[in-house]
Amino acid sequence: MDRYAVFDNKTILITGAAGFIGAALAKRVCMENPDAKVIGFDSVNDYYDVRLKEYRLKELESFKNFEFIKGNLADKKAVDEVFEKYQPNIVVNLAAQAGVRYSIEHPDAYIESNLIGFYNILEACRYHMPEHLVYASSSSVYGGNKKVPFAVEDKVDNPVSLYAATKKSNELLAHAYSKLYNIPSTGLRFFTVYGPAGRPDMAYFGFTNKLINGEKIQIFNYGNCKRDFTYIDDIVEGVMRVMAKAPEKKDGEDGLPLAPYAVYNIGNSNPENLLDFVQILQEELIRAKVLPEDYDFEAHKELVPMQPGDVPITYADTSALERDFGFKPHTSLRDGLRKFAEWYKEFYK
C-alpha cells in the first residue's frame, strides 16, 4: 500500500463514518496522514446492530486527527454547518441507506438518505467548492444487464430495486452539479463489499449469525447467483487513489466548462457462485473455531427461489480503474473470508 502525501494538511469530510466502508477509509487516512484532519459525519441509525458502529467509532476516536459529528444528511442545516465550519478540501459521501431488500419495505429511508441527503451534500459543495467530491454508487445500477462483465459505459436505465434507482439518480445529480458549478466529482460503483467489521445484513455475515444460532440459511435462486465479492481493503485502496486525483476541469468548444465528472467500478472482476462461497465460508468458520468441526451444514441450508429486486450476477469490468489509477482489486475470497472469520471470533468471543 502506498502512502498518499496529497492528503497531508487537508481536511477530509467522510459521511457514513460509522459505516463499514466509511470507518475503514477514515482509519487508513488517519493512520497514514497524521497531518490530515478527518471529519466523520454519521447519524448512527439502528438499521443494523449499533454495537458494530460504536466499535468502529471507538477505534477512530483513538486518532487525534479524527473528529466525529453525529448528524443526519437529510438535515440541511447540519450539513451546511459542517461545511461552513471545516471547509473540507475533499468530501467522500458514503452515507446512504443500503440494502436491496430493505428498500422494498422501507422506501422512505432511501428517499431521505440517498436523495435528499445527497442533494444537501451537492448544495453544500456548490457553495464551498471542495477540490473533489467522491461518492458511493453501487453495482446495483446495472440491474438485470445481460452483458457481463458490467462496464461503466453500459446503459444503466433499468434498475430493479428502489435502492438501485436512488444510486443511479446520485450519478445523474452529481453530473448536473459538476456541469453547472464545475465541481469535480467521481462516483464509485462498489461490488459486494465484505470483510471484518462489515455489515450484518450482508450474506456472509448474516449466514454466520444464523449458523451459530442453529437457524437455516436461505440460498437464493437455488444457489445459481454469482457475486463479485470485493474485500474491504481493496475498496479502501481504490477510494484513496480516486480521492487523490480529481477529474480535470476544462472548457468545451462553447467556452463553458465540461463536467469534471467520472464514474468507476470497484470490484474483484471474479464472480463467485453462491454455493462455492458458502462452502469457503463454512470451511473458514470451522478453521477459526467459530463453528465446531462436526457442524451439519447440509441440515442448515435451504435452496430457495430468486428474491424481488435481486439480480442473478454481478461482475465488474475494472479496466477504467486500472487505466486511470493503475489499480485492480485482488484479494481472494478465501483470504478475505478467513480475515472475517478471525475477526468474528474475536468480536463476538
Going along the chain from its start, the domains and CATH numbers come out as 5-191+231-267+314-330 (3.40.50.720)
Cβ atoms within 10 Å of 27's Cβ, excluding its own: 20
What pLDDT score was predicted for residue 2? 60
Q: What angle do CA 122, 127, 130 make, to 5 degrees?
A: 70
Contacts of 248 (CB under 8 A, 6+ apart): 184, 260
The residues that are catalytic are 163
pLDDT digits (tens, 9 = 90+) for 163-220: 999 999 999 999 999 999 999 999 999 999 999 999 999 999 999 999 999 999 999 8
Q: State how beta strands 11-15 and 217-219 pair.
A: unpaired
Distance CA 26, CA 91 (A): 12
Q: Read off φ and ψ for residue 298, nearest 5 degrees.
A: -60, -35
Question: Which residues touch 137 (CB under 8 Å, ≥6 apart)?
Answer: 167, 168, 170, 171, 187, 188, 189, 190, 263
**Residue 143 and residue 158 in contact, taking contact as beta carbons nearer than 8 Å:** yes
Q: Are 15 and 121 in contact (CB under 8 A)?
A: yes
DSSP 114: I
Regions of the chain where pLDDT drops below 70: 1-2
CB atoms near residue 234 (< 10 Å): 20
Q: Cell numbers 480529481 label which residue?
A: 246
Nearest to 10 by CA among 88, 67, 62, 64: 88
pLDDT of residue 224: 87
DSSP state of 306: P
Q: What is the pLDDT of residue 56?
A: 98
Cβ–Cβ contacts within 10 Å for residue 288, how many? 18
